Amino acid sequence: MKTIEEKIKRAIKTNKLNPEILGERLWYNYFVRITELVWKRNFHDGYKIEVYTEKYGEHLATVKV
């Protein structure tokens, strides 16, 4: 079974999830929050994607891309 992190990375690669659209939204059975990371603050350029359950808001994973 694939982990959530693998699902997110594959979805970005196949353009099913666009990290350039910042904010919170539903994505399939998950609630995702996408935040842009800036090197000056985080020492990493890219995006932080936090994944929660849709129903109860339980945090499942955080992925940095």
Residue-wise pLDDT tens digits, 53-64: 988 889 999 999
| pLDDT tens digits along 14-53 | 999 999 999 999 998 899 999 998 877 767 788 999 999 9
In the structure encoding, which two tokens stand for residue 22, read together?
């910042």
Rounded Cα distance between 20 and 17, Å, is 9
pLDDT of amino acid 42: 67
SS3 51: strand
pLDDT of amino acid 56: 82
Q: Are 50 and 32 in contact (CB under 8 A)?
A: yes
Who's near 10: CB < 8 A, 6+ residues apart? Answer: 2, 16
